[in-house]
Structure 1
Amino acid sequence: MKINILEKNDKLKSEVEIIFVKELDSLTQDKELLEILDFKAKDEACVLLAESKKIYVGYEKDNYDCIAIAIATAIKKLQTTKFKSANIVLNQELKDNFKALVEGAILGEYKFTDYKSEKEKRKIELDLIVEEKNSSLEKILNDSKIIAKAVNKARNMVNTAPADFYPEVMANIAQELAKDVDISCEVYGEKYLEKNNMMAMHSVGRASIHESKLIHLSYKPKNAKAKIVLVGKGLTYDSGGLSLKPADFMVTMKADKSGGCAVLSTMWAIAKLELPFEVHGIVGAVENMIGGNAYKPDDILKAKNGKTIEVRNTDAEGRLVLADCLCYAQDEIKDIDYIFDYATLTGACVVGVGEYTTGVMGNNEILKKEAVVSALNSGEYATALDFNRFLRKAIKSEIADVCNIANTRYGGAITAGMFLDNFIYEENKNKWIHFDIAGPAFVEKAWGYNPHGASGTGVRFTVEFLRGLLKD
C-alpha cells in the first residue's frame, strides 16, 4: 500500500472517499440513505455507496483500536471493488490517532496469497488529506510504515507451510533481515549445542531431518541507552514428539514459530527505526518430530546452566528450547537491562485469557504492569498472570531438579512460566518478562485488522516498550 499525506488544495486523483462516522447525526450528506441501509456508527459497520464513490465506516471511540479497525474495515471493503485508490479528509480525532490510521490501513490490507494459484496484484493507494502538512505527521507515517511492515514480515513467516519453513530456512531469513539493516547475525548448529551443553534444546530437535539452529542477531548503535535481549521460541513445526498430538491439534502447528518470527521482525524494525538501544535477538529454531532417536518421556535432560529436567511429556518442548536459549543469552551477554521471551507456549493460556490476549509473566510486578500498558498502547491485548508458591510446587521433580510439566491440569500457563524462571539467573530475575502469545499469534478467523492466520503479535508491543524507555 502506498500512503500519501496531501493538503486540501492539492490535486486529488483518488477514486473513492472514505468517511469516518462516529455519530450519524453529524452527517450533512447521505444521512437518509445510510439510515435506509441501516448503517450504524459502530465498530466494523461499513457501507459502500458505489454511485457516489463513497465508503462510510463507523467507529465508536477515538482510540487506537477503534480507528485501526475502522480503516481496516474500509480497506477491506475497497478490496471488494475494482477501485485502486481512496482518500480520507482527516478531522482532529483522526489526526490525534494518525499512528492507528496508518498501521490499521497497512495491517488491514494484508493477505497471505503465497500458495494461491491466482494472485491479485492490485495495489491500493491511500491519500490522507490535511489542512497543512507537518513534520510530526510525516515522522509518524514513516515510522508506522516500518512497524506495520515488520508485523507483516512476521505474518508471512508464520503463515508459511512447514515443508517450506524449517530451521535452516529460518536461519537464512534471519541472515537476510540482518543484511538488509546492517546488523550482525550468527547461526550455530547442533555441534555447537552439544559442545556448549545445550542438551534441552538439542534433544527436542534430534529426531528431525532438519538440523536445529541457534540464531543470534545483534544491533549495537553507538551510545546505547540500555541493553535488551529478545528470546523467541522458533518451533518451525511441532508434532508433539513421542507424546504425539491428536490430528486436529497438529493442524496450525506451523504457528509454533510465532515467537521466533516476532523476534526476527522486531529486530529488523528496531534497526530500521534506529532506536538508541543495544538489542540482541536469540531464536531457537527447532522441529519437534518423531523417530527412532526422538527424546522420550522419562528422559532426564541437562540444560546449559546445569539444571536437570525430567521429561514427562515431549509436547512440552518449547520451554526446553527456551531454557537453553535464555541461559545462552545470559552467558553471552553481560549487563542486561531487560530480557523478554516470546512463545506460543501453552494452550492453557488460551483457555485462561482467550485467543486474542497475551499472558504476561515474571517476578517484577512493576515491569509486568509496564509491559501490559505498552502492549495495550500498541494495539495488542495483554494481561498479567501471577506466579505463586503453591503452583511452583507443581513442577517439582522427585528425580531431577524440575519437571517439564506440572502435576496438575490447572494453571498450566503459569507453571510453564515458572519452569522458565528456573533458567533466569538471580541477577536477572527482576529484568525478565515471559510473554505467552499462544492465543493471539495465530487465529483461524479474521479479527479487527488481523486476517485469518498469523497476526504478528509481539512486534508492536516491543517497539512501543522501547520507545517508552526514551520518555523515562
Structure 2
Amino acid sequence: MSAKEPISFHVVSSDLSKVSADALVIAVSKGADGPVILDAPISPAALTSLKASLSSLGVTGTADQVVRLPGLPDTGAKILVLAGIGKLRDGAATDEALRRTAGAAIRQLAGLKHVVFALPTTSVAQLGAIAEGAALGGYQYASLHSSTEGRQAPVSKVTIHSTLAKDPALAAAVERAAIVAKAVNATRTLVNEPPSRLYPATFAEAAKDLAKGLPVKVTVLDEKRMLKEGWGGIMGVGQGSSRPPRMVKLEYKSDRAVASLAFVGKGITFDSGGISIKPGAGMVTMKCDMAGAGAVLNAVLAVAALGLPVNVTGWLCIAENMPSGTAIRPSDVLTILGGKTVEVLNTDAEGRLVMADGLVAASQELPDVIIDVATLTGAQMMALGNRTAGVMGDEGVSAALKAAADRAGELIWPMPLPEELRPSLDSPVADMANIGERMGGMMTAAVFLQEFIGKGKDGETIPWAHLDIAGPAFNEGAAYGYTPKQGTGMSVRTLIAYVEDVVARSA
C-alpha cells in the first residue's frame, strides 16, 4: 500500500527558452467559432502559424483532448502540447477547468519526466489548482502485475510558468495542493487494493501507517473490545467473516480550535451482501465499499497536515460482509451501541448498521457537527448517476458541504429527507428495521442514519449531514481529467474544503 514519490513543483516567470523540459503545455479553449489558443508564451510568428494549423491538426479545445506537436525553437521543451480546456465561463478559465486540464495532460503524458505548464492564470488559487490537478492526474496504482512491461512511469517534475511566481502566498498554495492530492491519492490506493490484501485488520494497520509523523492519535478497537462494549452493528455485520471487524478512531486536536467536528466513514472492505447475497456481477466492484472510511481517514490526516485550527475526530467503521454459518440472517435483531434495536430484513443493507454504531459513538463526544460518508445505496446511482454524490441532513450543513464541494471541484447535490419515509422503517419486533420504502432508497437510508444522531451540548440534535458516494467513489469507465479508473478519492477534497470554510467563517 506504499505510495509513489510525489511530483515536485516549481513556479517560474523566466523566459521558457531557458527551461529545459520534455513538454510545454498550453491551453486551447472551445470557442464559438472554433478553437482558441490561450495566453501562450511563444513567439507571435509561431502563434500565427499554430492558429492556422489547428483545424488541420484536429484540435477542438474540447476538455481532455491532448495533442502533441514538435517543440518550438523559442522554448526549451522537446514537444509542444495543446491541451483542451473546454468552453470558458464568462471568458475566463475556472479553477476547476484548470485543475482538470492539468490533470488530463499529466495523465496522458506519462512516460515523460518534466512537464511545463503555461496555462492562463490570474490568481495564486489558480496556480494551486494546476498543481493539484497535476498531482491528481499523475496518480498510478502500484498494481500487482508480474511485469511492468508496457507501463509508463508518471511525470515526476512539473514547472508552472506564471507572472505570479514571486507572490508570497504561492508556497502555501502549492503546499496545500500537494497535501490535498496526497490525501486523495492515498484514498484511491486503499480503494484499489484487493480485498485479499485490504481487510479490517490491515485497513486498521494502514491507518496507523498513514498517520505516522502527524499529530493524530489512532485507536483501534478489536472484536473483543467491541463485543464487550456493545458495538452491535459492526459486530453483527462482521460476524460472518473469518476476518473480524475493527473500529478505528482518529483524533486531531488543535490548541487554537474554533470548532469540534466528527467524520464517520463506512468501511466495508468487501460486500458480498451476506446471506442476502448479491448476484455475481454485483460483487465485482465491492472492494470499493470502504471508500467512505478511506476518505474520512485521509481527510482527517490532511486537516492535521495543514494544521487547521479545529478538533476533528474520525470514526472508521470497518467490517467484511460475508455469508457463512455464523453470518447474521434476515429477521435477526441487533442491538446498536447505546441500546437501540434493529431488525435486519436484508443483510445487504449492512452499511447503515456499521454506521449506526459510528454515529452513536461520534454523538457521545458532543461535537459541533457530524458528517458521515458512505458508499451506501445503489439508489444513489439511480438518482444522481455515477459522478454526483447525494448530500442529505440539516439544511445548513448540507448547504455548506455543497459550497465546499463546488470550490473543491467535486459534484454533490442536496436531496430531501421526507418525513413520510420514516414509518416504512417501523418493525413489529424492534425499534426499527434496516430497510424501508424502496422508492427513494437513498433518502430512506439517510432517514435510518438520522435516528442515531444524538443530542449536543445545547440539548438539541447535533447538526449532521450524510454523503452517499456510491457512484462517484469508483470509476468503472475510462479515465477523464484528473480522475483515474477505479478508486477516485471522492469526498476527500470536499471534507477538507468544508473544514477550511468553517475556519474562515470563524475569523
Q: Same fold (TM over 0.5)?
A: yes
Question: Counting helix residues as a fraction of each chain, which structure ranks higher?
Answer: 1
Q: Distance in 1 between matches of 2:121 and 2:233?
A: 54
- Scaled by the length of structure 2, the TM-score of the pair is 0.89
Residue 464 of structure 2 is matched in structure 1 by: 432
TM superposition shift of 1:118: 3.0
> Is it true that 1:8 corresponds to 2:14 in the alignment?
yes
Which SS does the other structure have where 1:118 is aligned? coil
Segment drifting more, 103-112 vs 341-350: 103-112
Among 324, 329, 333, the alignment partner of 1:291 is 324
Contact kept? 1:48, 1:77, Cα under 8 Å: no
- Alignment partner, residue 69 of structure 1: 100
User: 1:377 is matched with which residue?
Assistant: 407
Q: Are residue 217 (structure 1) and residue 250 (structure 2) matched?
A: yes
2:266 maps to which of 230, 233, 236: 233
Asked whether the 8 Å contact 1:305–1:423 carries over to 2, the reply is no
C-alpha contact (below 8 Å) 1:189/1:213 kept by paired residues? yes
CA shift for structure 1 position 371: 1.0
| 1:89-168 correspondence to structure 2 within 5 Å | 89-93=118-122, 97-119=126-148, 120-121=152-153, 123-131=155-163, 132-168=165-201
Q: Which amino acid aligns with 1:394?
A: S
* Aligned twin of 1:266: 299
Give the RMSD, CA atoms, in angstroms: 1.7
Preserved contact between residue 139 and residue 154 of structure 2 (Cα < 8 Å): no
SS in 1 for 2:161: strand
**Tell me, what secondary structure is at the counterpart of 1:301?**
strand
8 A Cα contact 2:107 2:482, kept in partner? no
Once the two structures are TM-superposed, the CA of residue 245 in structure 1 deviates from its matched residue by: 0.6
Instruction: Determine the structure 2 residue equivalent to 1:413.
Output: 442
Query: 2:76 corresponds to which residue?
Result: none
Identity of aligned residues (%): 35
Matched residue of 1:76: which SS?
Answer: helix
Query: 1:43 and 2:63 equivalent?
Result: yes
Residue deviations 1:309-338 (CA, integer Å, cap 9, x gap): 11110000000000011111222x23x111
In 1, the alpha carbon distance for the partners of 2:240 and 2:120 equals 58
The aligned residue for residue 372 of structure 2 is 341
CA deviation string 1:1-47 (max 9, x = no partner): 22211231584121211011225455534112221012112212221
In structure 1, list runs of 5 or more residues that go unmatched.
Answer: none
Q: Distance in 1 between matches of 2:488 and 2:200?
A: 21
Q: 1:58 to 1:121 in 2, by over 3 A?
A: closer
The CA deviation at 1:93 is 4.3
AA matched with 1:57: A
C-alpha displacement of 1:51: 5.3
Q: Does 1:309 align with 2:312?
A: no
Matched with 2:390 is: 359
Pair 302,34 (structure 1): closer, same or farther in 2 beyond 3 Å:
same
> Could you tell which deviates more after superposition, 269-278 or 180-189?
180-189
Amino acid at match of 1:471: A
1:293-312 superposed Cα distances (whole Å, 9 cap, x missing partner): 11000001111121111111
TM-score normalised by length of structure 1: 0.95
Gaps of 5+ in 2: 1-6, 38-46, 73-78
What is the aligned residue count? 466
Measured in 2, the distance between the counterparts of 1:320 and 1:105 equals 38
Any idea what the Cα deviations from partners look like across 1:255-308, whole Å, max 9, x if unmatched? 000001011111111111111111111111101111111100000111112111
CA distance in 2 between counterparts of 1:90 and 1:421 reads: 45
Q: Secondary structure at the match of 2:301?
A: helix
Among residues 350, 357, 360, which one is paired with 2:381 in the alignment? 350
The structure-2 alpha-carbon separation of the partners of 1:38 and 1:242, relative to structure 1 and needing over 3 Å to count, comes to same
- Check whether the contact 1:344–1:441 (CA below 8 A) recurs between aligned residues: yes
> 1:183: which partner in 2?
216
Give the whole-Å Cα distance in 1 for the aligned partners of 2:283 and 2:127. 40
Matched with 1:444 is: 476
Residues in 1 aligned to 2:327 and 2:155: alpha-carbon distance in whole angstroms? 47
2:262 maps to 1:256: no
Letter in 1 for 2:442: A
Distance 2:108 2:423 in 1: 53
Partner SS for 1:181 = coil
Residue 386 of structure 2 aligns with an amino acid whose one-letter code is: E
Change in Cα spacing, 1:232 to 1:25, as seen in structure 2 (3 Å) is: closer
